């Protein structure tokens, strides 16, 4: 019984380690045009936590003038179950792969991220 629970986690850990090595190799070889194609490929890709839980899918990817990915927005479920919402992943919290994104956040931490609509609301000084 313990193996049934451990095997999926071991597979995800192996995937993340191998993908991280592939990402380093890819990042060293990519030019601006290749980064743009990666950004376009990522829209709609699944987003996983390190333990293999799928927490959403990529909604949008923003790039800087240098072609590097600056921001990733994902669509995830509302913590209250009231439908989907879009959140911005914190800088440095994601490993970008071809066809998937792995975040260094727990499902609870993803749930705690503010939605994009909350980020745009003006703050009142009352």
45 part of a folded domain: yes
Range of the domain at 60: 2-120
Predicted pLDDT of residue 5 = 52
pTM of the full structure: 0.66
If one counts the domains in the chain, the total is 1
125 part of a folded domain: no
99 part of a folded domain: yes
Report the distance separating Cα 52 and Cα 82, nearest Å.
Answer: 24
Report the distance separating Cα 90 and Cα 110, nearest Å.
Answer: 10
Rounded alpha-carbon distances, angstroms, from residue 49 to 15, 54, 67 = 12, 6, 25
Residues of the chain with pLDDT under 70: 1-36, 119-126
Q: 10 Å Cβ neighbour count for 45? A: 19
126 part of a folded domain: no
33 part of a folded domain: yes
Predicted pLDDT of residue 27 = 41
Q: Where are the beta strands (DSSP E) in the chain?
A: 46-49, 54-63, 69-77, 84-88, 94-97, 100-103
Residue 73 contacts residue 91 (beta carbons within 8 Å): no
**88: CATH:** 2.30.30.240
List pLDDT tens digits, range 65-76: 887 888 999 999
- Give residues with Cβ within 8 angstroms of 51, minimum separation 6: 9, 12, 106
Report the distance separating Cα 101 and Cα 23, nearest Å.
Answer: 11
């Amino acid at each position: 019984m313990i193996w049934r629970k451990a095997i999926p986690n071991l597979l995800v850990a192996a995937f993340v380690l191998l993908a991280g090595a592939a990402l380093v190799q890819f990042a060293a070889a990519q030019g601006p045009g290749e980064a743009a194609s990666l950004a376009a490929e990522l829209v709609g890709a699944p987003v996983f936590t390190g333990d293999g839980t799928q927490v959403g899918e990529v909604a949008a990817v923003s790039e800087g003038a240098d072609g590097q990915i600056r921001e990733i927005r994902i669509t995830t479920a509302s913590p209250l179950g009231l439908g989907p919402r879009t959140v911005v992943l914190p800088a440095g919290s994601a490993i970008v792969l071809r066809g998937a994104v792995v975040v260094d956040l727990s499902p609870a931490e993803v749930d705690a991220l503010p939605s994009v609509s909350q980020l745009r609301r003006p703050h009142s000084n009352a």
